[in-house]
Structure 1
Amino acid sequence: MLMIPIDTGNKAIKTENFEFHSGITALESMPGENEEALMFQDKYYRLSHERNVYLPDKTLDDRYYLLTLFAIAKELEKLRQSRPFIPGELISMDLVVGLPPLYYRSQYKKFRDYFYREGRLVHCAYMGRSYRLTFSNVYVHMQTYAAYLYLAKELKLSTYPKVLMIDIGGYTLDYMLLEKGMILWNYTDSTGKGVISMYQRVNKGIREKFDLDLKENDIDSVLKEESCMYGEAIRKRVVEIVTEHVEEILGMFRECGIDLRSAMTIFVGGGSILLSKIIETVWKRYDGEYYVVNDSKVNVHGYRKKYLFDKKMQ
């Protein structure tokens, strides 16, 4: 059975082989030759370099369904290199997606139904190539915990009495405290302190001082210390504001009753990678041990690992 795991993030969509912004726009006319576009229900769509506006409930419209079809099509194109598809072939697959810990139990069924759609046949075309798809099943796993499962052996997490997982994503910052591999639910939550709130905070601070609007990609460039057109004063202020944001994030755990000295802290997610240098600076005031995982797809890898384990146990 073909299985495709996808992380449908607020800032980025991630598969095992691809990562792209969670932005999609409808085309008014047929796309040009070789233009990366998706046709679904007689309409054409293309990806945007800027993410769509944050949705508190991703099932409110079709944008995340369409983004997922894009992700599937990209993976199928990659798969063609080793497994050619017959024209008109019905491609059956299991789809694996995820939800933040806070929303997992309450939104599991709704999120699954949003993608499954009673297993109906899906007709779509990607860059002019037609696909007939059907989902045999849709599995919804828990973000952050999936990352823990994937990293546990590699980082020898079982050797630590407690592990604090901090997953910094687009909108959400999820954290999960585990003791001997068991989730401590009183110390597990999803907050709105992801990088999108940080972008808003930086932009407000830069507007107030420099009367300048920064794009999210501009802020990323400053944090990655890439060359950009902005002067030292602006870059310095961006770093100051982001540092304040990270200070508040780490300070939040003390208020939640989590002592960073008593657990091995693992930072995962694209936001953690982006903020890794700031985290290193701020962490100096703490005595605990931490590690930033330089792989934005750990949840996707975790979805696959959990799926295969569950299949083996059936």
Structure 2
Amino acid sequence: MLMMPIDTGNKAIKTEHFEFHSGISVLEDVPGEGEEAVKYQGRYYRLSPERNVYLPDKSVDERYYILTLFAVAKELRELKPPRLFLPGEVLEIDLVVGLPPLYYRGQYKKFREYFYRGGEVVEFEYMGMSYRVSFSGVYVHMQTYAAYLYVARDLNLFKKKVLLLDIGGFTLDYMLLEKGMISWEYTDSTGRGVISMYQRINKGIREKYDLDLKENDMDAIILGETSMYDRGIEERVTELAESHVADALGMLRECGIDLRLSVTVFVGGGSILLSRIIDKVWGRYRGEYYVINDSKVNVLGYKKKYLYDKGGC
């Protein structure tokens, strides 16, 4: 039995070894030689550098299922030691995925069935290799809490009051824990992830410079990785990103969460992207905080929770 934890994010898909955009496109013909593509139910799909539009319910169509097939195929090629697959062999996989706190209770069963499908055998091809897999077990965990489980020991958080801020593609999830117990009154998901920040930045840049920036362009400016733009544009992007982070932290104060009274831990790809901005904005506060520089903390948390539930650690 193989186990695969996969984070099906709005902006990116993450596995233990890979991270790629949550975007696919349909090929009208067979893929070119060496082109990364999946063939599923008679159609070819390839990964797109542009993410798909935000879906509050990812089970409404096949996009995230196909993206998961990409993730599974990539991980199968990374098995150590390498695994030889016999013709017609069915690989049984325990799939471990997650949902934001806001959607967990309402979508847990639907999301599980979306992947499980009665344990049926799924046939697909990836880069010329044929696979037959069965998601014989599907385990749906809660994002953010999974990240907490992964980082708590190293940061010595189990006996402390901790605020987890998981900045993802569309959502910003927050969760307050006291001695490892979730305070549900102060746990929620909001639409303040990086996608809403991109929209805010692009609006501000269009108004002043009549210019449309791609998300990758904004990322590069925020990370300080480019100097190809006019200094005024770069300063405006940074200013709008700072406003986004400041407003998010201000929202928490409005929700009754005092950042001075807990250890704040930022996780998720959005937190890594915004780490320099967070460091600057945090000067307004006095609380202890960390930014975890690992975009796969939820994936690793899913794995840790799975192994714990199975009695493995």
Residue identity matched to 1:261? R
Q: Is the 8 A contact 1:221 1:228 kept in 2?
A: no
Partner in structure 1 of residue 95 of structure 2:
95
- Select between 76-85 and 236-245 the one with higher mean Cα deviation: 76-85
Query: Percent same amino acid at aligned positions?
Result: 70
- 1:105 and 1:254 map into 2 onto residues whose CA distance is 25
Correspondence 1:310 to 2:309:
yes
Q: What are the within-5 Å matches in structure 2 for residues 275-290 of structure 1?
A: 275-290=274-289
1:8-157 mapped onto 2 (5 Å cutoff): 8-79=8-79, 81-157=81-157
Aligned equivalent of 1:165? 164
Cα deviation 1:219-248 (Å, max 9, x = unaligned): 000011112421100000000011011110
Q: Distance in 2 between matches of 1:269 and 1:168?
A: 5
Letter in 2 for 1:148: Y
Structure 2 unaligned blocks of 5 or more: none
Q: CA offset at residue 271 of structure 1?
A: 0.1
Q: Give the AA of the match of 1:176.
A: M
8 Å contact 1:243–1:282 — kept in the other structure? yes
Q: Verify the 8 A CA contact 2:159 2:180 in the aligned structure 1.
A: no
The worse-fitting range, judged by mean Cα deviation, of 167-176 and 221-230 is 221-230
The separation in 2 between residues aligned to 1:79 and 1:90, in whole angstroms, is 16
Q: TM-score, normalised by structure 2?
A: 0.98
Question: Are residue 215 (structure 1) and residue 219 (structure 2) matched?
Answer: no
The alpha-carbon distance between structure 1 residues 80 and 148, as it changes in their structure 2 partners (threshold 3 A), is closer
SS of 1:261's equivalent in the other structure is helix
Give, in whole Å, the separation in 2 of the partners of 1:31 and 1:228. Answer: 36
Q: SS at 1:178's partner residue?
A: strand
Instruction: State how far apart, in whole Å, the 2-side matches of 1:258 and 1:30 are.
Output: 54
For 2:99 and 2:168, the matched residues in 1 are separated by: 12
One-letter amino acid of the structure 2 residue matched with residue 64 of structure 1 = Y
C-alpha separation in 2, matches of 1:264 and 1:273:
18
Note the residue ranges of structure 1 that are not aligned, 5 or more in a row.
Answer: none
- Tell me the residue number matched to 1:188: 187
Please name the residue that 1:233 is paired with.
Answer: 232
**CA shift at 1:212, angstroms?**
0.2
Instruction: For residue 89 of structure 1, give the secondary structure of its aligned residue in structure 2.
Output: coil
Distance 1:267 1:201 in 2: 21
Structure 1 vs Structure 2 CA RMSD: 1.0
Query: How far is the alpha carbon of 1:12 from its aligned partner?
Result: 0.2
Aligned runs of 1:252-271 on 2, under 5 Å? 252-271=251-270
> How far apart, CA to CA, are the structure 1 residues paired with 2:227 and 2:91?
45
Q: Residue 44 of structure 1: SS of its match in structure 2?
A: strand
Q: Provide runs of 4+ in structure 1 moved above 4 Å.
A: none
Q: Please give the alpha-carbon distance, in whole angstroms, between the structure 2 residues aligned to 1:47 and 1:35.
A: 10
**Paired AA for residue 236 in structure 2:** R
Residue 43 of structure 1 deviates from its aligned partner by 0.4
Normalised by the length of structure 1, the TM-score is 0.98
Cα distance in 2 for residues equivalent to 1:240 and 1:7: 30
